[in-house]
Structure 1
Amino acid sequence: MLTVPVRQLGESERATVERVLDRDPYAGAQVAERITAHGLNWWRADGRVYGHGAGHRVDSVVWSGAHLVPVCAAPTAVAAFAELLAGEPRLCSSIIGRADAVLDLWARLGPHWGPARDVRPDQPLLVTADAPPIRPDPGVRLVQSREVDQLFPAAVAMYAEEVGVSPLQDDGGRGYRRRIADLVRSRRAYARFVGDRVVFKAELAIVTRHTAQVQGVWVDPEFRGRGLAAPAMAAVTLDALRRVAPTVSLYVNDFNTPARRAYARCGFRAAGTFATVLF
């Protein structure tokens, strides 16, 4: 029996959840997008939202679905969420969020859920609200629906390189291809082409009223070291700020020095540290 003030939240408490998410619009972006699209009814959203707080008050939440995402979770809330989740089988493929909460959560859940495939404890969270100070690459543009076939191999290469497993292994890539096609259709996928070949790509993987979060940034290995990434990212950032959201955010592995240098040239500034646990 749980001894901590944690409970599943429903649609009637949507405004309360949104207030918590607004307190950390970058760590809460993934959850906020899901709730905007599907509400808090778990059978529609493919995930559950649990809240922590005394009585009817909610001071922090955690999204439990394909990903486990704590938001505004102080140590007491992390302990409460871990006590709840430790009694359930692991369903998520990753734990993502502010590093302190993620690493504390994993320290508590690890003995129950078994080993992780990878733990990335230091991922700088970067944010900008300003137009890039460098000239954007005019060759970077939104991908068209007829170009999904050209984009998909680059997306697969990026995923395998970044995550460490192939997105083709479970269903032959059908689900991942649908995701890429959806991003293209919603005007959230960018690329630079050389002929029919994608040499740079990035997506606005998460969009809320506060931020557009960039993921899937990739440069073809043959084109790395040529100064392509920073102007390409400047083009993505400028379009996102003009057309999509008031800020652009992303998180990057601390050891990825070239990427961090490119983002700094585009005007991104540190806004904390994320961590990711991969299964």
Structure 2
Amino acid sequence: MLTTTTVKVLQPGELQDALAVLDRDPVANAFVAARVQVAGLDPWRLGGEMWGWYVGGRLESLCYAGANLVPVCAGPEAVRGFAERARRQGRRCSSIVGPAGATSALWALLEPHWGPAREVRAHQPLMVTSTLPADIPPDPHVRRVRKHEMDLIMPACVAMFTEEVGISPLAGDGGLLYQARVAELVGAGRSFARVEDGKVVFKAEIGAATDRACQIQGVWVAPEHRGKGLSETGMAAVLRYALQDVAPLASLYVNDYNTAARAAYRRVGFEEVGAFMSVLF
């Protein structure tokens, strides 16, 4: 019996079906789930289209197609369907990011048409925890960044982004979109920092957040303060906020070559549960 498969843009009325797919893996799907829970499926509010892979009329997989291209619960056939749609549309995203298996397969199909990438990070361990560390006290000086402190936190955010991604977030539009995102996290009470002598020496944010899981991002220690253990006590503090105020699970993903960060996260209690992959343009 031939089973009909297709890829199409989800309509707002399919929200519950989309959420059911996203709920299969609340940790890996936190970024997309958080956007959908806030914005629904309207492309203008969502910041991109949500593509669906249907088997026999049933929604089985998703792909968020906005500033990032993100496969969700996508097996080999779904990946091929999403790749064909993305190839026909042409590249509109600045990155492809998601679970390593699906993202690798998607990139293999798109690279002949979209390549070369600026950088490929093929293995980024996905780490998760549901508990606070027993032997690392939270840094009492790490606190929420206040709404009037944008001038304080922005230089640290720009430094972190440039160091992590390899380009400045101020390029292109002068940083307007990046500044708006930082302001959004500050306004939501999900930006944290330790400040000494008027300068940020540690910072991190709780980025994507649902009622099931949240994702810690943007972890940064000022270069002159590295090696002092601030990343561990700082992360313990952010983790306390995350687990008490946001969600029962906290996750992050980290470059595999960043052995120091991976070790610090393990000491705070994070365990590797999978891997992401990022293709940067």
Cα root mean square deviation, aligned: 1.1
Name 1:222's counterpart in structure 2.
Answer: 224
Cα offset for 1:182?
A: 1.3
What whole-Å deviation, never above 9, does each CA across 1:213-261 have from its counterpart, x for those lacking one?
Answer: 0111000000011111101000000111001111110000001011111
Cα offset for 1:4?
A: 4.7
Does the CA contact (< 8 Å) of 1:135 and 1:231 recur in 2?
Answer: yes
Q: What amino acid does structure 2 have at the position aligned with 1:22?
A: D
Superposed structure 1 runs of 4+ greater than 6 Å apart: none
Structure 1 stretches of 5 or more lacking a match?
none
CA distance in 1, matches of 2:16, 2:56: 16
Q: Percent identity?
A: 52
What whole-Å deviation, never above 9, does each CA across 1:16-50 have from its counterpart, x for those lacking one?
Answer: 11010000112211111111111111122121111
Question: Which residues of 2 match residues 99-248 of structure 1 at below 5 A?
Answer: 99-133=100-134, 134-248=136-250
Relative to the length of structure 2, the TM-score reads: 0.96
Name 1:21's counterpart in structure 2.
Answer: 22
Does the CA contact (< 8 Å) of 1:24 and 1:71 recur in 2?
Answer: no
Does the CA contact (< 8 Å) of 2:96 and 2:103 recur in 1?
Answer: yes
CA distance in 1, matches of 2:185, 2:53: 33
Q: SS at the partner of 1:121?
A: strand
Name 1:41's counterpart in structure 2.
Answer: 42
Structure 2 stretches of 5 or more lacking a match?
none
Q: 1:257 aligns with which of 237, 241, 259?
A: 259
What whole-Å deviation, never above 9, does each CA across 1:170-191 have from its counterpart, x for those lacking one?
Answer: 1222221121111111100000
CA distance in 2, matches of 1:205, 1:237: 12
CA distance in 2, matches of 1:50, 1:175: 24
Q: SS at the partner of 1:36?
A: helix
Relative to the length of structure 1, the TM-score reads: 0.97
Name 1:51's counterpart in structure 2.
Answer: 52
The count of corresponding residues between Structure 1 and Structure 2 is 277
Q: SS at the partner of 2:123?
A: strand
Q: SS at the partner of 1:23?
A: coil
Is the aligned partner of 1:74 residue 2:84? no
